[in-house]
Amino acid sequence: MNWFHRILHRSSQREDAILLLNLRCTRFRQLVRNYGKILDALADAADKQGGDYILDRQYTVSLSEVVLDLTEAIIFDLNILAGDRYDSFYHLLDRFRSEVRDTIAMENGVDGPPSSGMREAAKVRTPTSTEALNKLAKAIAESRVLYERVGRVACRGVAAGPVFNLETEDSADAFTEGAVMVASDIVPDDEFIRLMRQASAILIDLGEPAGDAATLAREFGIPTIVGLADASKRLETGSEVTVDADENTVYQGWIQELLEYYKTERLDQEEETEYRILRRLRRLMFALTLEKDAETGAELGDCRTLHDLVHVAHELAGDAQFELITNLRDFKKTSTNLVTISNIPFYVIDVGGGLAQSDRGAASPDVTEISSLPMRMFVHGMDQIFREGPQMPQPGVLPLSVMATVTEEHANMIVQQPGGFDMVDSMIGESRDSNHIYCRFASTTQGNEDKAVRGAVACEILSRLDFAAAQTTRATAAWLSGVPRSDMEERLTIIGRLGAYLLEADATGWDGTSRDAYVNTFITRHV
């Protein structure tokens, strides 16, 4: 990093330094975009694992190769950002690559495509009872559909039973074997697991196929649909429903014909090689197992999955970016623009159209002169919270500053706070394909005894905002892309509010027992 610092101090080469900084930011942006694509792939694979898709082997092969290629690109970019300090990451990647390919080859060998001689015999016979099929089609056509493709399938299967709505019942004592469990949200504690094992099906308002409850549902093979939004408000205890999680549909009443049909005609998910391969690959590649101390962060030796490796690599790249920016402390006095918002100093380095004022290094610009759209939205959100709050941030109470490297459509913002730093990297333009928000929030703050509460709160909120999020004891990282400009602006304003909300809680101290309260307060007041 010293080379970079030296260049910055040579006034004659300041423009070159700006160019280099721009290149570094572009490289980092590329890295987080690839990291985001992996998080998207993770969410997509969890969605597919739910079981309501027709998969083929090519899907799992392509998925794994795409993720391996993205990982290699991330390691390459990390080494450029951090001066080739992480060559050893390639060796671990090679090991994972071999394991992934072996897994696919092994499963294909166990249950490969039938030989041509077997194929004729393997032909699936036509139904013998047209009458039964007609009866089934009639029963489905006459049934009232309560939900059709509203939520997301977490575990395939079909079941019917009386609803037991956990939100409206004071006690779960009356929960009976075979009931359809309905809930707003799920905390997979012992009581939930006990009830879950008795349920014939599960319907949840919130949640994702990659979430804990969904994972448990698959583990137990219970037909489950998550993300139904209002099931706990619509479905009364005692009413009967038929849950067809193969089709992501919930019918009113008990459709015996459907249950009978599936009993004879459908395969269990575990009988399907494609799903078995996908499950193994997801364990090998996508589990996040890092549990290291928040202060030191995880290291290469702690990586047991590809996701671990990618997560560590992207965190180290973020650290390198932070190191670079904080090394600009002297530089910022002369070549950055100071914008003070809610008493917080924003040091802005404009590398191309990020400030309306063209004369970089001149007198402090006003907030209205920020022409970088992502920065303007973030600042706007942050300012809203601090203006509404009990008091504006005071030096010494929230000893922070924000370093922003901006262009008209892009901003990389690093919020320095007592326990480390938060970071937002965002591109917002007319092309939705190139739009993204990446954010990283430290899991803890200085002196905080409730380990990782901050990160857990951020992770839950970001998940509810449709970000693909991953949390370790060190930081929560989240990603959103492919969203139209107006939606991106709104989301980034909310991220600004979230950043300020976390900083306010840092100042007052976190209560480790109130995670849900922090999340609900933010969602209710600020989303």
Partner 1 sequence: MNGSLQIMLVDDEPIVGKRLKPALAKYGLEVEVFEDGPGALRRLREKEFDIVVTDVRMEDVDGMQVLEYVLANSKRTKVIIITGYATVEVAREALVKGAFDFIAKPFKPDDLRAVIDRAAKALGHPGIRKSDD
Summarize as ranges the residues that interact with partner 1 (CB under 8 A).
Answer: 48, 52-59, 61-62, 113-114, 116, 119-120, 122-124, 126-127, 130, 133-134, 136-137, 140-141, 145, 149, 246-248, 258, 261-262, 265-267, 272-274
CA distances (Å), origin 154, targets 93, 201, 227, 303, 516: 30, 11, 10, 27, 23
Closest contact distance (angstroms) between CB of 62 and partner 1 is 5
**Residue 108 vs 521, nearer CB to partner 1:** 108
Burial of 429 (0-12, 13-18, 19+ CB in 10 A): middle
Minimum distance of partner 1 from residue 263's CB (angstroms): 11
Report, in Å, the least distance between residue 37 CB and partner 1: 16
Q: 411: helix, coil or strand?
A: strand
Q: How far is the CB of 521 from partner 1 (least distance, A)?
A: 37
Q: Phi and psi of 379, rounded to 5°?
A: -65, -40
Q: Which is nearer to partner 1, 165 or 249 (CB)?
A: 249
Contact 158, 244 (CB under 8 A): yes
Task: List the Cα angle 245/266/234 in 5-degree steps.
Answer: 20
Kindly tell me which of 114 and 238 has the beta carbon lying closer to partner 1.
114
Please state, in angstroms and rounded to a whole number, the distance separating the CA atoms of residues 404 and 406.
6
- Using only C-alpha atoms, the chain has a radius of gyration, in whole angstroms, of 26
Alpha carbon 120 to chain centroid, angstroms: 45
Nearer to partner 1, 54 or 363 (CB): 54
| Residue 523 C-beta: closest distance to partner 1, Å | 30
Cβ 143 to partner 1 shortest distance, Å: 9
User: Minimum CB separation from partner 1 for residue 97, in Å?
Assistant: 19
Between 122 and 363, CB nearer to partner 1: 122
Q: What is the dihedral of CA 205, 283, 97, 69, to 10 degrees?
A: 10
Is the Cβ of residue 143 or residue 232 nearer to partner 1 in the bound state? 143
Letter for the amino acid at 183? Answer: A
Q: What are phi and psi of 339, to 5 degrees?
A: -120, 120
Q: Which is nearer to partner 1, 55 or 80 (CB)?
A: 55
Residue with tokens 């101090």: 9
